[in-house]
Copies of this chain bind each other. A is one copy, B any other.
Amino acid sequence: MKRHVTIKDVARVAGVAPSTVSYVLNGSRAVTAETTKAVLEAVDQLKYRPNPTAQGLVSGAYRTIGVVSAQIYSQYRGRVVAGIHSALRGTGYHPIVSGIEDFAEPDEVLETVMGRGVDALIFHDHFFPPERIAELHRQMPVICVAREIDGMPDRSVLVDEVNGGYLATQHLIELGHTRIAHFVADHHFQGAAQRLAGYRKALEEAGIPFDPALVFQGDNLGDSGLRLAYELLESGVPVTAIFAANDYMAYGAILALHRRGLRVPEHISVVGYDDEHTSGFYVPPLTTIRQEPREMGRTAAEAVLKLLRGEVFRTVVTPTRLIVRESTAAPGHAG
């Protein structure tokens, strides 16, 4: 395999000192136009690319942002990462992503990410122990997406989850539903409680009493939606609509209803949450809550850059909105 071209090679070819090459490339000191030209030519000729590892060793800065993201197979989560990428573009910083697997060990994830030398961290993972995150927070800038950690004020990019839950439920109520079940998101996830709060708020506002028998704890997977829907049906509690706290659970619920001969939305309306890219092609296309994952990623990356520059960042809350498709309709639609 081939040896790397180093700054010395460039210096030799350009007939200058290595440091001069460094100064030209980094603009960290005034250099004659002539010298600059010679250096740049040598760089071109040798196709020299500085070794960021060595740069990092010297400066103690790696120009790298570690990103820890669980369950990246969700389009929603992938988009957050995409937003981070795009905000970092042209800044000289690059993201390195880990925690692709659902249940990657915290230590391992950290070793992957930290081991490479990172200047800051973005967490989009609700499994990672908060104490560990807080600990890292003491060593470098850390931003959390869709999560808040005790002792880390102004270090989050949040989503207006309460409003999301509210919007979903209110939509159902406006359609005329009063018996609305809610499949709660995975309990590790902070948004779960907030979506539930939004659900309760909408009910309350409409004067519909909250019924605990209508709320079921899920775990975000399709299978849990399926199971919960069966449970709901078997419980005999009358219901005309389901608000599932994520799209996958909504899929599972719709399948369960289908298997029991219940059609959506004719017999039961269903609304999801996240607007995964498959939801518009589901049968029926799913009414859901859309967040702005790309925007969230961008904001998180910009926050980190800000902290790195020593500026202040204040926690921001990104909006949610309702996407009405075809899985919701007025109740009693089919009798």
Contact = CB atoms under 8 A, between A and B. Distances in A.
A225 to B, nearest CB: 7
A101 B89 CA distance: 12
Interface residues of A, number: 59
Interface in A47-68: 49, 51-54, 56-57, 62, 64
A277 B285 CA distance: 18
A111 interface: yes
Contact of A283 (B52, B57, B112, B282): B282
A271 interface: no
A117 B248 contact: no
Interface string A237-257: 000000000001001101100
Contacts of A24: none
Contact of A277 (B52, B72, B73, B79): B73
Given A56-B53, A74-B73, A116-B52, A222 B281 contact: yes
A94 B116 contact: yes
Interface stretch (A80-88, A126-134, A150-158, A172-180): A80-88
Given A111-B94, A116-B64, A116-B96, A101 B73 contact: no
Contact of A2 (B89, B104, B138, B252): B138
B96 A108 contact: no
Contact of A54 (B57, B79, B140): B57
Interface in A259-303: 276-278, 280-285
A95 interface: yes
A93 to B, nearest CB: 10
Q: Which 6 A-B pairs have the closest CB atoms?
A: A73-B78, A222-B281, A251-B281, A73-B75, A94-B112, A53-B117
